[in-house]
Amino acid sequence: MNNSVTNTVRLFGAGLRALLMLTLVTGVIYPLLVTGIAQGLFHDKANGSEIEAHGKVVGSSLIGQPYNLPLKKGQETPDPDLKWFQGRPANGLGTNSLNTQYSLLLSGATNLAADSEDLVQQVKDAKAAVVKNNSVPGYTVKPSQVPADAVTSSASGLDPDISPRYADIQVHRVAVKNGLPVAQVKKLVEDRTEGRMAGFIGEPRVNVLELNIALKDLVAER
Amino acid sequence: MGPVLAGVLQLLALIGALALAYVPLGNYMAKVYSSDKHWRVEKWIYKGIGANPDTEMRWVSYLRGVLAFSVAGVLFLYLLQRLQGSLPGSLGFSSIEPAQAFDTAASFVTNTNWQSYYGEQAMGHVVQTAGLAVQNFVSAAVGIAVAVALVRGFARSRTGELGNFWADLVRGTVRVLVPIAAVAAVVLVACGALQNFSGIHEVGQFMGGSQQWNGGAVASQEAIKELGTNGGGYFNANSSHPFENPTPFTNLFEIFLILVIPLAMTRAFGVMVGSVKQGYAILATMVTIWVGFVALMMWTEFAHHGPALQAAGGALEGKETRFGVGGSALFAVSTTLTSTGAVDSFHSSFTGLGGGITMLGMMLGEIAPGGVGSGLYGMLIMAIIAVFIAGLMVGRTPEYLGKKIGSREIKLAACYILVTPALVLIFTAASVALPTPPNSMLNSGAHGFSEVLYAFTSASNNNGSAFAGLNANTDWFNTTTGLAMLLGRFVPMVFVLALAGSLAEQKPVPATAGTLRTEKPLFTGLLVGAILIITGLTYFPALALGPLAEGLA
């Protein structure tokens, strides 16, 4: 009995020492080595791919952000600022409920099911809003023209991209609101449309922040 | 090019890349676990442990090593989380509550990585890097070690000796996982994944104001998270978060990392038992099921049935633009047919049938190709069951790889395949029958039931993905999923190692004209059939109440 207790203790000690040795290798040396290489070779990317416009950091090119008007009195959700291209809905995005000394972005999806009535309502409302907001005199958006990414929440809630089709149906509205020729805005979208990588990996997309920065430049030039 | 064709081409490219890695990596791993030489760094580690790596262990000693190491892992990780509030380098984050700390410790030590917490707001640098990421490595190395012990059971005869656990653990970590993960991490950073130890970033926004996100050693954890089929995300959104999975290329690359070791293990197995053809038969079984599931998943997701998806005009709810439906379907199948559980899209918002496919993938026991190590030993257990069934048909004693499958062996194999279904069905039934646990469901009806079924399927099979609408951060779910993960990991390992010991003691039976040729396509067909029928019979009633009811509605 006594012997088996001693053996168990000895064995557990070996387990603990193995864990500590391997923690040194995989939890200290490995991450520091990778961080060293990353900071040396890819400094900007390793630190969040921050993007500047007019000398000011305006976000990360990888993280989507809202383009809304300031919240009006009595309003719970702000209205989109229609001067700018809009990203995807992010109904699963939250703010932190723990460690509230910070206000961190809490990534996430809605997790609503394909047959959820709540989700059906969210999609219908989003579609109606996209049709209404993007129809300007001389250009009417039909519900069938609205692509799926415009009315569904992304997985992370931080999707930086929209589909080229969603960008296209926003072109007329953006042109009108900024007093720019439609052709010029259209070209802006075309120039910033990224195709599939190597022709087949992923889906074509437009980075909304980069597009809006270019749009702002265009407006400033006028 | 349409999205469907692009999806198919991504699948083909992935198969091509995996095929290129198969022979070199498999041969390398066979050499790692057969070599007599120790690297210098390994000798230092053995000295630190106080273990002699050349001592042969019988199955009980090997198992005791596994358990001692894992108990130490659970305790250490639990304490690290409980003490987080006082640890430097933790961004000032507070300590984790006991039930959640237990759940998380059990989760990462069992290679599950079920997460009832939000990574970005709960876990600081020290817990993430020196706790969670370490278990990403070592739990994977433990899985591979147990698989290697079983392979030795087939390869050796007239001995009960299965190798040395400490040597297998250290070699798997130092020679296999760390080098590949280091290269992969650098590739991920080059594409945009974070890798720093700075505090909270506060950056300006286009419309004014600012946003806050935490930095951290993300790429280094992401690499081993996929490579070790772990799946615990640095951020809540897991591999859909642009800082974990920034581009369509990294998406495909991460799927490659998930699959590469489990598939190459079949090569290492073939080399170690002296017949690479036996490895090919197992590989063919895994690939058949995987490709079949990918095809089904792409079909149902591109067809986007379900009222909300029909209204939207595509199954993009819970999916990222850059990956699209094709890349997301490929990831979802690969993560649930292995024990990974990382997600690049949220399975709860998939079509009813798509969600069912992810669940069925886990219910197969995660053997196609399965977790690192656990996939191979799970599949070899199914192979034993299949030769047993074939033996019954022709009325002769079944053999596999020159070893008789007698009553002791078949009892151990049968016990193995009963453990996880029992855990899944009992815990799910209890959660639905008790008054309060159902309050955690986000959705109602069939989908609500699926959330609970998914949770226990994921935990018991050590997957870790979720129908994440379920609020799993309650005492009930933290405790029960924690137990399901521990029992679902270590009880099967007991049967695997006992089986390995019993096989290693046998003397080989010479193959005769009546021996079932287990390297032939006929056997692969039999094995696929046995897997599907056994799983189908076990889970059909539960699946009918959840995803099938939703998908056929």
Residue B93 sits at the chain A interface (C-beta within 8 Å)? yes
For residue B152, is it left (φ>0), alpha (ψ between -120 and 50) or beta?
Answer: alpha
- Residue among A148, A151, A141 nearest A171 (CA): A141
Residue A146 DSSP code: S
Rounded distance between C-alpha atoms, residue B94 and residue A104, angstroms: 15
CB contact under 8 A, A67 and B251: no
Please, which residues bridge with residue B204 across strands?
B210
CB contact under 8 A, B120 and A106: yes
Element (H, E) at B100: helix B98-109
pLDDT on residue B75: 98
pLDDT tens across A47-98, in order? 999 999 989 999 999 999 999 999 988 888 899 999 999 999 999 999 999 9
Residues contacting residue B429 through CB under 8 Å, at least 6 positions apart: none
pLDDT on residue B216: 95
Rounded distance between C-alpha atoms, residue B471 and residue B442, angstroms: 7
Rounded distance between C-alpha atoms, residue B109 and residue B106, angstroms: 5
Check: CB of residue B76 under 8 Å from CB of residue A19.
yes
Where exactly are the structural domains of chain B? 372-552
Q: Give the nearest chain A residue to B172 (CA atoms).
A: A22
pLDDT tens across B395-428, in order? 888 999 999 999 999 999 999 999 999 999 999 9
How is residue B141 written in tokens? 């190395």
Banded model confidence at residue B114, pLDDT cuts 50, 70, 90: very high
Rounded distance between C-alpha atoms, residue B133 and residue B73, angstroms: 12
What are the backbone dihedrals phi and psi of residue B379, each rounded to the nearest 5 degrees, phi first?
-70, -35
Q: Give the type of residue at A70.
A: P
Share above pLDDT 70 across residues of chain A, in percent, rounded to a whole number: 100
Banded model confidence at residue B551, pLDDT cuts 50, 70, 90: confident
How is residue B411 written in tokens? 């009892």
Residues of chain B with Cβ-Cβ distance to A18 below 8 Å are 45, 48-49, 51, 69, 72, 166, 169-170
Rounded distance between C-alpha atoms, residue B104 and residue B136, angstroms: 12
Residue B56 DSSP code: -
Residue B202 DSSP code: E
Banded model confidence at residue B553, pLDDT cuts 50, 70, 90: confident
| Chain A: closest CA distance from residue B489 (Å) | 18
CB contact under 8 A, A113 and B306: yes
CB contact under 8 A, B204 and A65: no
- Residue among B204, B377, B239, B270 nearest B26 (CA): B270
Residue A41 sits at the chain B interface (C-beta within 8 Å)? yes
Does B136 have pLDDT greater than 90?
yes
- Residue among A85, A168, A49 nearest B213 (CA): A49
Q: The whole model's pTM is what?
A: 0.98
Check: CB of residue B72 under 8 Å from CB of residue A18.
yes
* Cα torsion through B424, B425, B427, B431, rounded to 10: 120
Average pLDDT over residues B202-206: 95
Rounded distance between C-alpha atoms, residue B245 and residue B252, angstroms: 10
pLDDT on residue A1: 54
* Alpha helix segments (H runs only) across chain A: 2-23, 30-41, 43-46, 117-134, 164-178, 182-191, 208-221
- Among positive and negative, which fits the CA dihedral A89, A92, A94, A99? negative
| Chain position carrying tokens 């089904």 | B296
How many beta-carbon contacts under 8 Å exist across A and B?
Answer: 401
| Chain B: closest CA distance from residue A183 (Å) | 24
> How many other C-beta atoms can be found within 10 angstroms of the C-beta atom of residue B290?
22
pLDDT tens across B208-242, in order? 999 999 999 999 999 999 999 999 999 999 999 99
Helix A2-23 × helix B133-155 angle, to 10°: 120
Banded model confidence at residue A2, pLDDT cuts 50, 70, 90: confident
Banded model confidence at residue A4, pLDDT cuts 50, 70, 90: confident
Residues contacting residue B31 through CB under 8 Å, at least 6 positions apart: none
Residue B240 sits at the chain A interface (C-beta within 8 Å)? yes
Does B197 have pLDDT greater than 90?
yes
Residues of chain B with Cβ-Cβ distance to A151 below 8 Å are 311-313
Residue A27 sits at the chain B interface (C-beta within 8 Å)? yes
Q: Give the type of residue at A32.
A: L
Residue B173 sits at the chain A interface (C-beta within 8 Å)? yes
> How many other C-beta atoms can be found within 10 angstroms of the C-beta atom of residue A103?
13
Residues of chain A with Cβ-Cβ distance to B305 below 8 Å are 114
Rounded distance between C-alpha atoms, residue A114 and residue A151, angstroms: 14
Residue B178 CA: distances (Å) to CA of A46, B174, B498: 20, 6, 30
Average pLDDT over residues A122-134: 98
Residue A161 sits at the chain B interface (C-beta within 8 Å)? yes
First-residue to last-residue Cα distance in chain B? 33
pLDDT tens across B306-365, in order? 999 999 999 999 999 999 999 999 999 999 999 999 999 999 999 999 999 999 999 999
